[in-house]
Chains A and B, each alone.
Chain A
Amino acid sequence: MSVTTDQAEPTPTTTAAAAPYVDPVRRGALRRRGRRNLVVSAVSLVVVVVSSAVVIANASGWPAVQAAFFNPEEFRQYFPDVLAAFWLNIRMFLVAEPVILVLALGIALIRGTRSPVMFPLRLAATVYTDVFRGVPTILLVLLLGLGVPALNISGIPTDPVIWGVVALIVSYSAYVAEVFRAGIESVHPSQRAAARSLGLSSVQSSRYVILPQAIRRVVPPLLNDFISLQKDTALVSVIGPIEALRQAQIDGAENFTFTPYVIAAVLFIALTVPMTRFADWLNARAARERGAGGSA
C-alpha cells in the first residue's frame, strides 16, 4: 500500500538564538546571594566539625577510645589481614548477586501469570516471598548454616560458606522479587494492549515490551538492595567462615584492640560508597526523565 501525505512538518517554534535577557540588578543580587550561601555553608561546616572534635577530644574516655579504635600502628599491622578476609565477602557477594537476580525475576514472573495451570507455582512463589521476607536474614543464616550440614545427608556440601551464601540468596531473592513485581506492575496496561493488538502473544508482549521497561525502572531500587547485600555478607560470620568481620574479631581479641573493626568498616564503606553514588545518579536521571514527561 502506498499512500502519500504532503503534510508539511509542523515547524517547531525556533526563535533566533538571542541571548536571554536578565535584569542586571536582579543578576547582581542573585550572585551576591549565591556567594553569601557559599560562605554560610563553609562557616557552618567548620563550626560543626571543630566543636564536635573539641567535645570528643575533651571527653574523659577519648584517650582510651583512641587507643582502642584508632591506633595507627595496629591499623597498619592488621590491615592486610582484614583485607585478605574481605576478599571472601566480595566473593560471596559476587556469587549471590547474579543468582538472586535470576531467581527473583523468575519468582516475579510466576506471580504475574494468570493461567490456572500455573496455580501451584504461583502459590509456591507467594509463600516463598511471604516466608523468607518475614524471617530475619541472620536467622536464615543460622538455620541453614547450622541445620542443613547437621542433617548428614551424603552429597550435600557442609561448607558453611556455601550455606551462608544460600541463606543470603533465599532472603534477598524474596525481596528483589517484590521489586521486580512492582516494576512490572508499574508499566501501564495500555502497553500490553498495544503489544497484543499487534498480534504478539502474551509471552512475547512480556519479553519485548513489558519487561524491558519494567527492568529499566527497577535498576535504582535494585542497586539499593545490592548495597545492603554487600554489607550483609558479614552476617555469614555467625556460622564460622572467616570473612572481614570475623577476622577483625580474631585480630582484636589477640591484642585487646578494636582497631580491626574500624578497618573492616573502612573496607565496607570503600565498597558501598561508589555503588551508593551510582544509585543516586541513576535515581536522579530517572527523576529527570519522568520530569521531562516523555509519556507515550
Chain B
Amino acid sequence: MTSPLLAVETVHKAYDDNAVLRGLDLSVDAHEVVVLIGASGSGKSTLLRCVNGLEPIDAGRIVLDGELEVTALDADLDVVRRRVGIVFQSFNLFPHRRVIDNITLAPRKVLGKSKTDAEQHAHELLTSFGLSDKANDYPDRLSGGQQQRVAIVRALAMDPELMLFDEITSALDPQLVGEVLDVVRGLSEAGMTILMATHEMAFAQESADRVCFLDGGVVLEEGPPEQVFGEARESRTRDFLARVRAR
C-alpha cells in the first residue's frame, strides 16, 4: 500500500487557551483535490498553515509523502516549503518587486536557478495563465484577480507537489472570483494535488474529489461532494450548508 501524499494524524493546535484543532485527521492522495469547508474559525486556515510549517503544532504528526515529517521538532521547514506551495487570501505579493521578480525570487535564491532559466519558466507560467503582458508591472498596477493569479504562479514556480489554497477568493470582488477559480480548475485537470479551504460551495461541488467539513477542530464529515452536499449524515453539516445557501 502506498502512503498518501499528505497525512495529518491527530493534530492538536491551540492559540493560547483557544484550541483550534482538536485531534484532526486527514489524508490527501496524489492528484486529489480536497476541499475544506466549515464556519469561520473552524480551523481551515490553521490546518493549512500547519501543513506548510508556518504554525508549530502542539500534538500529532503531519507527514509528506510517507517520508518527510513536517512537524518533527528538527524538521527542515525550508525543504518542506520547497515541496508544498501555499497561496493566501490576501495575495501577499511583494509590492516592491515587479511581477516577474516576485515569481523568480524563490527559484533563484532557494533552488539556485540562473536568472535566465527562472525567467523563462516564469514567462511560460505567466503565458499559460493569461498574464504574459503583466510581467514587468508592479503588483499594485494589477486587479485583485490578477494579483491572486500571480500569487498562484509564484507558488507554482517552485514546482511544488502539493498546493494549499487558503480562501484565495475571499478578498476578491465577486466578478473577479471566476478567473481565479478557473486557474485552480486548470491545475486540478493538469494533475496537481490540491488542498483548499473555501467558501465557494458551487466550486467545491463541481471540482472537488472530496469535501471535508471541519467543525470543532476535527473533520466531522467527509466524502464525495454529491454525498456531503446532497445527503450529509451529520446535522451540523446540514445546518452549516443551509446557512451558507441561505445567504
Contacts and interface: CB of A to CB of B under 8 A. Distances in A.
Interface in B28-87: 52, 54, 77-79, 81-82, 85-86
Contacts of B54: 193, 196-197
B154 interface: yes
Q: Which of A6, A190, A208, A216 has the most CB of B within 10 A?
A: A208
Interface in A181-240: 190-191, 193-201, 204, 208-209, 212-213, 216
Contact of B81 (A190, A199, A212): A199
A5 B139 CA distance: 20
B94 A191 contact: yes
A5 B179 contact: yes
B237 interface: no
A296 B91 contact: yes
A216 B77 CA distance: 30
B243 interface: no
A194 to B, nearest CB: 4
Given A198-B155, A201-B78, A4 B109 contact: no
A196 B155 CA distance: 11
B143 A10 contact: yes
Given A5-B129, A199-B82, A199-B110, A208 B105 contact: yes
A295 B139 CA distance: 9
B99 to A, nearest CB: 11
Contacts of A10: 143, 145, 175-176, 179
Q: Which of A196, A198, A204, A295 has the most CB of B within 10 A?
A: A198
B52 A197 contact: yes
B92 to A, nearest CB: 4
B106 A199 contact: yes
Contact of B105 (A3, A9, A200, A201): A200
A107 to B, nearest CB: 23
B247 interface: no
B150 to A, nearest CB: 10
Interface residues of B, number: 49
B187 interface: yes
Q: Which of B82, B95, B111 has the most CB of A within 10 A?
A: B95
Given A3-B189, A3-B190, A296-B139, A204 B109 contact: yes
A263 to B, nearest CB: 44
B51 to A, nearest CB: 11
B96 interface: yes
A164 to B, nearest CB: 37
B37 to A, nearest CB: 23
Contact of B158 (A191, A198, A216): A198
Given A198-B106, A294-B140, A5 B182 contact: yes
A199 B176 contact: no
B147 interface: yes
A292 B106 CA distance: 29
A195 B176 CA distance: 25
A212 B96 contact: yes
Interface of A: 1-7, 9-10, 190-191, 193-201, 204, 208-209, 212-213, 216, 292, 294-296
16 contacts: A2-B190, A3-B129, A5-B186, A7-B182, A10-B145, A194-B94, A196-B81, A197-B52, A200-B105, A200-B109, A208-B105, A213-B94, A213-B95, A292-B140, A294-B139, A296-B139
Among all A-B residue pairs, the 9 with the closest Cβ atoms: A294-B140, A194-B92, A3-B186, A198-B106, A199-B110, A199-B81, A7-B179, A199-B82, A296-B139
Interface of B: 52, 54, 77-79, 81-82, 85-86, 88, 90-96, 105-106, 109-111, 124, 128-130, 138-140, 143, 145, 147, 154-156, 158-159, 175-176, 178-179, 182-183, 186-187, 189-192
